[in-house]
Chain A
Amino acid sequence: MSDFLGDWHALVVLLVAGVIPNQIWRMLGLWLGGGLDEGSELLIWVRAVATAILAGVIAQILVHPPGALASVPAFLRYGALAAGFVAFMLTRRSIFAGVIAGEIVLLAGTWWFG
């Protein structure tokens, strides 16, 4: 896949695995959305599952890291996330502080142990 777009197969995969299963919910929201109760029990469960799937994806990137991240030792990947979380909590939930702290620990750690 060295061309700008890649082969047609990759685009079909994008449509079938990414675009359609995602857009279908937006279009359903547009067509049927009128009388929906955001607090309904079904939606609370759906939201919990969606959040847990996203958490699983975050964990997957750390446990089975892609590309360059695999060169970083595991304890440093987890340590960076933990340090970011501490900074996030200490700054009354600042996303910015959490991201910066995590990155600093990762870079300092690879410099220190590398």
Chain B
Amino acid sequence: MKYRDKPALQQKLAAEYVLGTLRGPARARFQAWLREDAALRNLVAEWEEQLAPLTAAVDSVEPPQRVWHALEARIDTLRTHDPQSRSGGWWNSLAFWRNWGLIATGFAAAVLFTVMLKSPEQVIPQSPPTADNRMQPSYVAVLHAMDDEEQLMFMAYAGRNANELWVKRVFLPQTTATQSYELWAMPGKPGEAPRSLGVIPPEQKGTMQMVAIADTALKDVAELAITMEPAGGSPTGLPSGPMIAKGECFNFW
């Protein structure tokens, strides 16, 4: 990666990340590097420690009681449904992803190869659609892991007039009871917020209902992305958890 042999650039990015001026795609890219680069994490930790005294001057404000009550309720749910949550965020651990990557990479390459072999005839239809072949995929997205473009994670496709998205988990690990994967349509224009396409079904293959037909719902979408969210999806309506996978959304015809 090109930032690796540039210490001055690393310093600048780490400083601006902590200060808060590194934003948008640059911030997301930097976060992906952070996940796999311990030296970069140390730079960030240094800056966090150095700027920490600034926080002392921020006025404390007592949050409303409802925040604590909601928090307690959510922790109770964690407990009842998920005895394993004590280890906390296994999906976020680098070791997990490393091991997963080792096992999965070979298989991923094979699947990707198969997809590519099949794509002219099967993924991309050769003939234009007729009224009765709405299932022919017109929009196709192939999502890869954030830190490994060759690791295929997830596929989604839809006919242009269909309001169902066909999805297939390729290497998406199972979630625990308190977590959900959420699929997002990332707009091509900067400044536009990602739109939720909903929580990904737990089955290996399934369908997701869209609010409109693909030609409307996916028209200006540049990429699809998956984040890890609390069960049932992000509480804010915007991605709130770590991004797990992403990939370009192609409109074939």
Physical interaction between A and B: no
Q: Which residues of A contact B (CB under 8 A)?
A: none
